[in-house]
Amino acid sequence: MTLPCRRLMAAKMGNGHLGVIEQDIPALVPGSMLVEVHNSLISPGTEMRSWRGLLAERSDPKPNFQPWTFGYSVAGVVLQAADGVGEFKPGDRVACIGGGASHTDYAVVAHNLCVHLPDTVTFQQASYGMLTTTALQAVRRGEPQLGERFAVAGLGIVGQLTARLYQLSGCRVIGWDTIALRCSMAKHWCVDAAVESGNEDAVAATKAFADPDGLDGGVIAFAGDATGVYNDINECLKCTPDGHRMGRTVMVGGAKVDVRLIPANTDVRIAARTGPGFLDPKWEFGTGYPPVFIRWTTRNNLALCMRLIGEGRLDVDRMTTHTIPLKDVDDGIQAILDDPDSILGVVLQMKP
């Protein structure tokens, strides 16, 4: 089999457009693999949020701007494995995350950021790997207990996945979002109740949902200033007889909160990335951490998410609102950016 030496990649250009550029495929290094990509997932948060100024940039193009490639979640078939990769072989179906997993038709990825796909998982479903694993890490940081009640503020992809994983942990979940479509989608698969917070009183609805004791915790799953939402979650937490709120709030997604001294004994927890190992090159390309010390690495989290998808318990298909061929990325993205409230899961398709 003749291996490819060139690849196509989606890139942000200096003229206010997205484009497809061609470049050499990077050489494999020990611990890496070449994967023929079938699908990748565009995050409407970390990726698409920064594109909404593209139209304005067209009136002020930057001719010296170097095309910026992006992406971190793909699925496809292994074509070649370098030295140090013992578990994967050509022909294996895999989900891959991290820096090498860009929006491209051929990705070079670290082997510990890849997992085998169950037979029941499609490439499109597996492209959700990065965000499902991010959500799982947020749930682990929240330490849910069977029967607890949580609020998830922000029902984008990570928020909906986090809500569903809390449900699978035995919790009841209420979701908050300002976008009606997201609330409607969440009601059908990942929350027990949902509040369109722009039109409804989220605090009143949540207190009724968590009556009589209050919430055990909350999740802030969006970027930007979240101080008001944080205070609203605090108001819904359990309250001791001496007037102190109790519970834990997990932040995932880059929100900013002004935390001040209030009558409370609450925890604010940051959920960073996908679990231990991510961005540690010695781990990503080398050997794993001893499981006796670190049970849930990034890779183990990713494998569990793929299993839950394969078992039908994590229904990522419900969140896919758009599928765009790689070659049409500019036209496809510009069309949906005109109606941002309609966007949730945007999947790029590399093969016809």
Q: Tell me the pLDDT of the chain averaged across its residues.
A: 94
In a shared domain, residues 174 and 114: no
Residue 280 belongs to some domain of the structure: yes
CB contact burial 318-342 (16+ within 10 A = b; e otherwise) = bbbebebebbebbebbeebeeeeee
Which pLDDT does position 16 carry in this prediction?
81
Among 270, 296, 319, the domain boundary falls at 270
Residue 179 belongs to some domain of the structure: yes
Phi-psi sector, 279: left (phi>0), alpha (psi -120 to 50), beta: left
Model pTM score:
0.95
Residues 47-73: pLDDT tens digits?
766 566 666 677 777 878 889 999 999
Residue 59 belongs to some domain of the structure: yes
Mean pLDDT value of segment 258-283: 92
Cα 68 to Cα 63: distance, rounded to the nearest angstrom: 13
In a shared domain, residues 103 and 35: yes
Here the CATH number for the domain that contains residue 255 is 3.40.50.720
The total number of structural domains that make up the chain: 2
Which of 13-22, 114-123, 216-225 has the weakest average pLDDT?
13-22
Which pLDDT does position 62 carry in this prediction?
80
- The number of C-alpha atoms within 13 Å of 336 and in the hemisphere containing its C-beta is 21
For residue 24, the one-letter residue type is D
Distances (CA, A) of 124 to 42, 144, 237, 320, 344: 12, 29, 38, 9, 14
Angle among Cα 30, 31, 32 to the nearest 5 degrees reads: 95
In a shared domain, residues 264 and 307: no
Which pLDDT does position 51 carry in this prediction?
60
In a shared domain, residues 290 and 214: no
Q: Can you give the residue range of the structural domain that contains 200?
A: 141-270
Cα 249 to Cα 272: distance, rounded to the nearest angstrom: 14
In a shared domain, residues 201 and 246: yes
Mean pLDDT value of segment 147-157: 97
Among 270, 305, 337, the domain boundary falls at 270
Peptide bond into 44 cis (omega under 30): no
Does the pLDDT at position 109 exceed 80? yes
Cα 3 to Cα 7: distance, rounded to the nearest angstrom: 11
Which pLDDT does position 54 carry in this prediction?
66
Residue 301 belongs to some domain of the structure: yes
Residue 236 belongs to some domain of the structure: yes
Structure tokens at 23: 């470049």
In a shared domain, residues 86 and 162: no
In a shared domain, residues 167 and 202: yes
Which of 11-15, 183-187, 213-217, 223-227 has the weakest average pLDDT?
11-15
Which pLDDT does position 128 carry in this prediction?
98
Among 221, 236, 270, the domain boundary falls at 270
Residue 312 CA, chain-centre distance (Å), reads: 18
Q: Band of the pLDDT at 293, cuts 50, 70, 90?
A: confident
User: Measured between alpha carbons, how far apart are the two ends of the chain, in Å?
Assistant: 21
Residues 87-99: pLDDT tens digits?
999 999 999 999 9
3-state secondary structure the chain: CCCCCEEEEEEECCCCCEEEEEEECCCCCCCEEEEEEEEEEECCCCCHHHHCCHHHHCCCCCCCCCCEECCCEEEEEEEEECCCCCCCCCCCEEEEECCCCCCECEEEEEHHHEEECCCCCCHHHHCCHHHHHHHHHHHHHHCCCCCCEEEEECCCHHHHHHHHHHHHCCCEEEEEECCHHHHHHHHCCCCCEEEECCCCCHHHHHHHHCCCCCECEEEECCCEECHHHHHHHHHHEEECCCCCEEEEEEECCCEECCCCCCCEEEEEEECCCCCCCCCCHHHHCCCCCCCCCCCCCHHHHHHHHHHHHHCCCCCHHHHEEEEEEHHHHHHHHHHHHCCHHHCCEEEEECCC
Residue 135 belongs to some domain of the structure: no
Does the pLDDT at position 103 exceed 80? yes
